[in-house]
Amino acid sequence: MTDIKGSVALVTGGNRGIGEGFVRTLVAAGASKVYCGARNPDDAKHLVDEFGGAVVALKLDVTDESQIEAAAKEATDVNIVINNAGAFLHGLLIGSPDISKARMEMEVNYFGVLNMSRAFAPVLKANGGGAIVNVLSAGGIVAVPNMGGYSPSKFAARAASTIIRAELADQGTHVAALIVGSVDTRMAEHVEGAKERPEDIAKVGLTAIKHKLDELDTDAMAVQVRANIQRDPKWLERQMARGLKAGKVSTGR
């Protein structure tokens, strides 16, 4: 088991949503320090003010390799990396006027995860191995047509999680992939139905760290999607296609 108490973590996109949930949950679990990565560190001020020295705001845009490199040089004591920063830009692969939204979703959701993992792998090795947690999506295990480039980017990040896990196994770094369904965040405003609290998703993430679980469904919607894939994948694909015409996504609850 990996102990959260006394650990030093970095959370990308830690100033709100699931990222903020991770910051709060890590502090509550006894982490000695949590770096809260944000494109604008002022956006993390409320967490720094609330938790004092336990939370450190860190300027970090995961699409900027120079900022990632700077973060790795500053946060040399990290042994847990939470790749949470994500982008969902409400575009379509064919229906949008260009591919700029799909390209940005891939930059954040895939290349951001890859570049963070590359930059912090030596840091984690120096600190005993530790863990990387990639916050993914049910849209990474079933293609969701009305989520445009977001769904393919999460498929790519899921595959990368498996490959990075294999590459870093010898240095003792565990890589966990979280399959997230519907959470009460700004990114999920378009989703209808019941939604989970960000803190509850984070608690599942800490379970994945503690028990070195490779992939974990974090909530009821993710579990439901997984079950439907196993039961009848083509039926689920048809349901997702209907969602494109309906212009909405629902948790089914």
In degrees to the nearest 10, what's the CA dihedral of 61, 211, 162, 239?
-90
Q: For the residues 81-98, what does the mean pLDDT come to?
A: 96
Tell me how far the alpha carbon of residue 90 is from its chain's centroid: 18
Residue 2 in any domain: the answer is no
Overall domain count for the chain: 1
Percent of the chain topping pLDDT 90: 85
**Other CB atoms closer than 10 Å to residue 219's CB: what's the count?**
22
Question: For strand 80-83 and strand 174-179, is the pairing parallel, antiparallel, or unpaired?
Answer: unpaired
**Which is catalytic among the residues 35, 110, 150, 195?**
150
Residue 1 in any domain: the answer is no
Q: For the residues 105-114, what does the mean pLDDT come to?
A: 98
Tell the burial category of 95 from Cβ atoms under 10 Å away from its Cβ (0-12, 13-18, 19+): exposed
The pair of three-digit structure tokens given for residue 240, joined into one six-digit string? 């997702």
- In the chain, the amino acid numbered 213 is L
Which residue, among 80, 23, 75, 72, has the nearest Cα to 52 in the 3D structure? 23
> Residues near 18 by Cβ (< 8 Å), separated by ≥ 6?
84, 135, 180, 183, 185, 198, 201, 202
Q: Does residue 249 contact residue 146 with C-beta atoms inside 8 Å?
A: yes
User: Which 3 state secondary structure label does DSSP give 84?
Assistant: coil
Residue 97 in any domain: the answer is yes
Q: Domain range spanning residue 50?
A: 8-250
Which residue, among 72, 78, 98, has the nearest Cα to 6 in the 3D structure? 78
- Higher pLDDT among residues 42 and 3, named by residue: 42
CATH of the domain at 216: 3.40.50.720
Residue 188 in any domain: the answer is yes
Say if residue 111's pLDDT is above 70. Answer: yes
Active site (annotated) includes residue 150:
yes
Say if residue 250's pLDDT is above 90. Answer: no
- How many angstroms separate the CA atoms of 117 and 174, rounded? 11
- How many angstroms separate the CA atoms of 49 and 34, rounded? 13
Overall size of the chain counted in residues: 253
**Which is catalytic among the residues 154, 203, 234, 245?**
154
Longest dimension (CA), the chain: 51
Say if residue 213's pLDDT is above 90. Answer: yes
Say if residue 61's pLDDT is above 90. Answer: yes
Residue 3 in any domain: the answer is no
Residue 104 in any domain: the answer is yes
> What are the angstrom distances between the C-alpha of 120 and each of 19, 68, 168, 197?
18, 9, 11, 28
Tell me how far the alpha carbon of residue 61 is from its chain's centroid: 14
- In the chain, the amino acid numbered 128 is G
Percent of the chain topping pLDDT 70: 92
- How many angstroms separate the CA atoms of 163 and 168, rounded? 9
Residue 90 in any domain: the answer is yes
Active site (annotated) includes residue 154:
yes
Q: Report the chain's mean pLDDT, rounded to a whole number.
A: 93
**What pLDDT sits at residue 92?**
95
